[in-house]
Amino acid sequence: MQAKLFSPLQLRGVTLKNRIVLAPMLTYSARNGFISDWHLVHLGKFAVGGVGLVFMESTKVDPRGCTTPNDPGLWKDDFIEPLRRVTAFLRQHGAAAGIQLGHSGRKARNSLPWQGRAPLAEAPGVDHGEAWEIIGPSAIAHTAGASVPRAMTPADMRDQVRRWSEATKRAHAAGFDVLEIHAAHGYLLHQFLSPAANQRTDAFGGSLENRMRFPLEIVSAVRAAWPQDKPLFCRISATDEAGWTIADSLRFAQCLKAHGVDIVDCSAGGMTARSVADPGPSPSYGYQVPYAETIRRELDIGTMAVGLIIHAEQAETILQAGQADLVALGRELLYNPHWALDAAAKLDQQDAYATVPANYGYWLEKRANAGFARCLSTWQSGRQAPR
């Protein structure tokens, strides 16, 4: 019987060959917003490994929105052609190509994680060495040592709507099949949603409806600029450390559905100095899956589950139980880019070696069959040996 993990999923005009997703993972390897051969090799290996949907990491719509000087960008047309190489390779090997668009807001302008992830007091701008201004919903720093952002004006918000729309059109021109809006992890759109980061007194602050206003303007503009036959995802922090609750997420996700979002990517956290990649002491497998389950059940909208999804049987159980429509893996795929092939074998899928290209699968299947034959022969010889 075919495992649900390896069943196709139709999303608008895009068919994913399986339910395995490479989550958007920041690699901080771009230069002046431009990707390189690193990204082609990094992302390409997951398509070769059998992943159904491969996401490009958070790609910024505005150079001011870069988390570090090494973030990739889509704020100008010059970035399109290098990205086309990636999307063409991913599709050539059976994967849909996804991209996550984002803006870091008050969490911008930091050193790399392995250099301390410290706020940079002064740094040249990512694009051409311009001044690197920090903006956010309110003039409130992310942490005690971080820069205080300039509170955005209505003109700034209109400018951001335009930037997100234009970046979306570039993502289509670059050949991406799926687009995800990053509204989680304490970045700009999450900052507007948060009662802690957003203390505005105008129409964009105060009540939940007001705090959702700007993020939903972005979602509406992106959906209008993104082809109707291509699916739109939105990543949210279903809960955070500063007052955002699952009830708030249900209301926001209901609005996302009404604005044409197809899949809610359910993560958590990001409003404190602690990295979302370090969720605390000994988190359990699938610790964020209940968020995806709740939103899917309550709103009848597609969801993607994330967070310590490690084992094939675990992923299959999530899907079979109706907790999510897709499972996204990050560091587990870094550890084993051929996780999909391993999962197919462990779930006893027919033609498991067809998960990878024939010039891998042919030899791996021969190895497996030969190994089984040798083990069987050795075992039989042992049984027949004189006592």
Active site residue 360: no
* Contacts within 8 Å (CB) and 24+ apart, 272-276: 272/143, 272/186, 272/241, 272/242, 273/142, 273/143, 274/241, 275/113, 275/117, 276/185, 276/186, 276/237
**Residue 306: beta bridge partners?**
none
Choosing from 187, 287, 360, 362, which is the catalytic residue?
Answer: 187
* Contacts within 8 Å (CB) and 24+ apart, 34-40: 34/72, 34/73, 34/78, 34/79, 34/82, 35/72, 35/79, 35/82, 35/83, 35/86, 36/82, 39/72, 39/82, 39/86, 40/85, 40/86, 40/89
Strands 178-183 and 232-237: parallel
Phi, psi of 232 (to 5 degrees): -120, 130
- What is the rounded end-to-end Cα distance, in angstroms, of the chain? 42
H-helix segments, the chain = 37-48, 80-92, 154-173, 188-193, 208-225, 246-258, 289-299, 312-320, 331-335, 339-346, 358-384
* Active site amino acids: 187
